[in-house]
Structure formats: structure tokens, C-alpha cells
Amino acid sequence: MTTNKLNGKTAVITGGATGIGIAAAKRFIEDGAFVFIFGRRQEALDAALAELGPNARAVRGSISDPADLDRLYAQVKAERGTLDIVFANAGTGGVLALGEITVEQIDDTFDTNVKGTIFTVQKALPLMGQGGSIILTGSSAGTTGAAAFSVYSASKAAVRNLAKSWAEDLKGTGIRVNVLSPGPTATELAKAAVGEEGLKVFASMNPLQRMAEPAEVAAGAAFLASDDSSFMTASEVAVDGGLAQI
């Protein structure tokens, strides 16, 4: 069920061309928002725009490059003037056991999941004000432990703490910041990271015994974006089938 709870609002979604990102973009638009999706692959952005329709724009770039983020927010300011919702969703990760972890894996994961998230939010703040909502994509992996998943898990644990600290930094601004933490979700990134067999293993670990659909996670994002969550900040909403809750 969709509503008009985001009517007239402007949203930015990083990692918005595929997976949870495009599912959230669809949901936000159905709920009345105008959405800017941001991603690295032009082909994926073009395909997403074809699905999303006239209330969406696409900007190509990487959240690990501050200059790309500057271009994104310059376009938002030029077209919309202000910004109501930031869904810092872009992320990356892979599996390597402790003895196999490389400098390259650490740099790539933390440049995107931590540094990229920090500057995605920091550079959005001049466009945001009272009633603004910042949503960070965490993960059940930020709470639980999993073999060969330590670098990704550590990066998502860092994201969880960013929301706690930023809620203090944002006192008096009227801007809320919360974390949306999916569990195993049927996305392209998940399949690339752990493979089909790995996904089956992760799915079997949660009480619901299945993987989430991206639209189910997007519903959580829509809740955090709307005034239904107006008295929530520094919180974590888990859409993980109970994986990290028991």
C-alpha cells in the first residue's frame, strides 16, 4: 500500500539504480516524492530512470569521490532548491577470511561504506532543515558475526555509530538520522558478494527462513523518511527477518 506521506518532498538516494536503492526510489515516488538517484554506472542509471518516470533524475558518480557528491548536490539545489530526505544507501563488501584480508579490500570497503557515507551526509546538510530525514543503510552484519565477513561487518558497525553520534551533532536543527539495517536481501550486490549458495545459507539463518525482497526493505526506508517516524533519531530499524534480534 502506498500513500502521499512524502508528497512534495525531495529525496536523494545513493546506490539508487539497483537493488534496495531503486526499490526505495519507486516507493518514495509512489508516496509523492521527487527523487535523485546517484550511482556509478550510467547504463544502470538510464535503465532505472526508464522505470521511475518523470519524478526522478539521475546523477552519475561515486560516493567515495567528494567532487562527485558536490555535483550531485549542486544539481539538487539548481532543480529543487532544498532537500528533505537523504538515503545514504550505497555500499560495497566481499568475503575474505582473516588470513586473506587485503589492504585493497579494507580501503575499498571503508572508502565506500564509511568515508562515502560521511561525505554523502555532510555535503547534504546545507540543503536540509527542519523535518529533514537522513537514513543510513546499515546491516544485520553490523551486529552479528560471520566467518570471512569481518571487514564488511566492521564497516556497518561504524555506520551504526555514525547515526548515534550525528544525532548529537544535529541537535537543534530539526534533522533526524536513523539506520535501516537489512538482513539477507535478494540484490545484485548480495549475489556478487557471497554467491547463490551463500545467500541460501544466510536466508536459512533467520526465523522467517527466506530472503527479503528489496521492496520490503524500501518500506522501512519510506517509514523513516516520513513523519510517521517523527520522534525517532539515532534509532536502528531492522528489516532482517529476525536474524540479528535473537
Query: Measured between alpha carbons, how far is residue 146 from residues 16, 50, 100, 143 in Å?
Result: 27, 38, 15, 10
Beta carbons of 144 and 230 less than 8 angstroms apart: no
Instruction: Identify the helix (H) or strand (E) that includes residue 84.
Output: none
Among 9, 26, 73, 156, the one annotated catalytic: 156
156 noted as active-site residue: yes
* Radius of gyration of the chain, Cα coordinates, nearest whole angstrom: 17
**Which member of 26, 152, 164, 200 is catalytic?**
152
Task: Write the CB contacts of 220 (distance below 8 Å, at least 6 apart in sequence).
Answer: 180, 182, 237, 239
Under 8 Å between Cβ of 33 and 87: no
Reduced to 3 states (helix: H, G, I; strand: E, B; else coil), residue 186 is: coil
Helix 19-30 / helix 42-52 crossing angle, nearest 10 deg? 30
3-state secondary structure of 181: strand
Phi, psi of 181 (to 5 degrees): -115, 100
152 an active-site residue?
yes
**Of residues 11, 21, 131, the one with CA closest to residue 80:** 11
Q: Among all residues, which ones are annotated catalytic?
A: 152, 156
